[in-house]
């Protein structure tokens, strides 16, 4: 990680693809994004960027952090050329998962899309926000 490293957050329902499965797999390509704003964020990711993994619907907490190992390329699960995937591999689980509730009450996280735009599935996280999340998660990377 260097000072060009960006931070992101991706959402996934654990019933569809959980952090535990991700750990077991040791990495995956991140498919299924069918929203232009989320797609645009995927395309902005560069190798080495850090990605928080959020469990939506069930759990509603940030559970771990991953690393971008391959930048955007065409989604292999569709013929539609509009969509892309990235490759991710797990770095570590958060010592203490950071719940949506904690995020909502923390003054430095109010502006994040997780709070403001609940339906967006891939979003940028500022450096400051990422530090706050790591602190809340009692985790360092």
Partner DNA sequence: GCCAACGTTGGC
- Name the one range near DNA by CB under 7 A: 17-25, 72-80, 99-107, 126-134: 99-107
Which residues, 6+ apart, have CB-to-CB distance to 9 below 8 Å?
A: 51, 52, 53, 54, 62, 112, 113, 114, 122, 123, 124, 125
Task: Please select the residue that binds DNA; options are 21, 117, 127, 141, rule is CB under 7 A.
Answer: 117
Task: Please select the residue that binds DNA; options are 60, 70, 89, 106, rule is CB under 7 A.
Answer: 60
Q: How far is the CB of 120 from DNA (least distance, A)?
A: 7
Helix segments in the chain, DSSP class H: 19-25, 36-44, 100-105, 113-116, 127-136
Q: List residues near DNA by CB under 7 A.
A: 11, 13, 34-37, 56-57, 60, 100-101, 104, 114, 116-121
């Amino acid at each position: 990680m260097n000072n060009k490293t960006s931070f992101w957050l991706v959402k996934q329902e654990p019933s569809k693809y959980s952090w535990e499965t991700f750990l077991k797999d040791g990495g995956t390509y991140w498919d299924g994004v069918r929203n232009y704003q989320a797609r645009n964020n995927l395309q902005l990711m560069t190798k080495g960027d850090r990605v928080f993994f959020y469990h939506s619907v069930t759990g509603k907490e940030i559970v771990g952090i991953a690393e971008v190992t391959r930048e955007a390329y065409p989604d292999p699960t569709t013929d539609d050329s509009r969509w892309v995937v990235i490759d991710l591999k797990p770095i570590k689980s958060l010592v203490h998962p950071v719940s949506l509730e904690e995020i909502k009450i923390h003054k430095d996280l109010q502006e994040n899309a997780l709070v403001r735009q609940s339906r967006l599935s891939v979003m940028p996280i500022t450096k400051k926000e990422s530090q706050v999340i790591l602190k809340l998660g009692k985790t360092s990377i």
